[in-house]
Amino acid sequence: MTSDKTKQKYIDKLGPDFGEMLHDVEEEWSYVLLRYQEFMDLFGKGEKRVAFLNALSPAFALDLQVELSNALILGLCRLTDKDIRNQSVSVCHLPGFIRDNTVLKAEVSCHVARAQTYAEAARVRRNKWIAHRDKVRPDPAVTYEDIKAGLDAVYAALNAMAMGYWKHFIANEVISRQMPTVRFVACLESLVEGVIYIESRIDPKGESEPFDDEVSRAFLRRIGGDPSADLVILQRLRMAAKTIKEGLDLDVSQLD
């Protein structure tokens, strides 16, 4: 079912204001959850994954981590911000629309309160460090556990409403056939493995420098390459292999 058809289904069931708000909150939640899943694919798979990204480009890896972290903080804040005008897409508005089921309203209100609690540190950081920049870094720090717990609380509120109005649950995950971060890392890993493997064939003992013309030319002759045309490309490849190995602290003999 497309997003427009889903929204219309909600509106038909709950009315224009309630239906549109519930649909939009679900979409915003799923968007932020997808960003969280992508972040964890990059930086939440352990020290080896982080070391791999740092070996390729530590400055870029840090920038990416900071930007994705800020996006998660902003996303959780948007989902849990209070707005007296009821114009923002926020889970906080949902309990006010529930007028026909006091039990459901109480349950959703409880989940919303938990979400706001988990978002407190994120909101402080948003206000004092992301949207504005205080002279002193805000405390306490935002943890990814709190971000996920906040998203889980939003999910619990949405799931309670799905069960209450449609008698079915929603999944606490976003399934995407693309998953760009997974494909990105897989491609990087394959490229890195290929570069290091080629270097291990050029200089198995790791005794020469990347710009050693004699070693590179000898390898090109062995594979039928053209030393005059391919030498610079091969030397760049060898330099990349050296940089990556140093960053990952790899012994080229381990690849044999």
* 238-250 per-position pLDDT tens digit: 998 888 888 776 5
Query: Helices then strands (H, E): number in the chain?
Result: 11, 0
Residue labelled with tokens 């948007």: 78
With cut-offs at 50, 70 and 90, classify the pLDDT of residue 161: very high
Q: What are the pLDDT digits (tens) for 57-70?
A: 889 999 999 999 99
pLDDT of residue 177: 60
With cut-offs at 50, 70 and 90, classify the pLDDT of residue 254: very low
Beta strands in 126-216 (DSSP E): none
Whether 122 contacts 147, CB under 8 Å: yes
Q: What are the pLDDT digits (tens) for 112-155?
A: 999 999 999 999 999 999 988 888 888 778 999 999 999 999 99
- To the nearest 10°, the Cα dihedral for 126, 64, 150, 181? 150
Cα separation, 19 vs 11, in Å, equals 4
Collapse the DSSP code of 40 into the 3-class scheme (helix H, G, I; strand E, B; otherwise coil) and give the result.
helix
The average pLDDT across 53-82 equals 93
pLDDT over threshold 60, residue 3: yes
Cα separation, 59 vs 62, in Å, equals 5
Whether 126 contacts 73, CB under 8 Å: yes
Give pTM, 2 decimals. Answer: 0.83
Residues recorded for the chain: 256
One-letter amino acid for residue 103 of the chain: V
Cα separation, 22 vs 8, in Å, equals 11
pLDDT of residue 178: 62
Min mean pLDDT across 48-52, 111-115, 160-164, 216-220 is at 48-52
Min mean pLDDT across 104-113, 131-140, 165-174, 184-193 is at 131-140
Task: Count Cβ neighbours within 10 Å for each residue of 227-247 and write b for 16 or more, e otherwise.
Answer: eeebbeebbebbebbbebbeb
Q: Which residues contact 64 (CB under 8 A, 6 or more apart)?
A: 42, 53
Cα separation, 94 vs 151, in Å, equals 15
Cα separation, 226 vs 236, in Å, equals 15
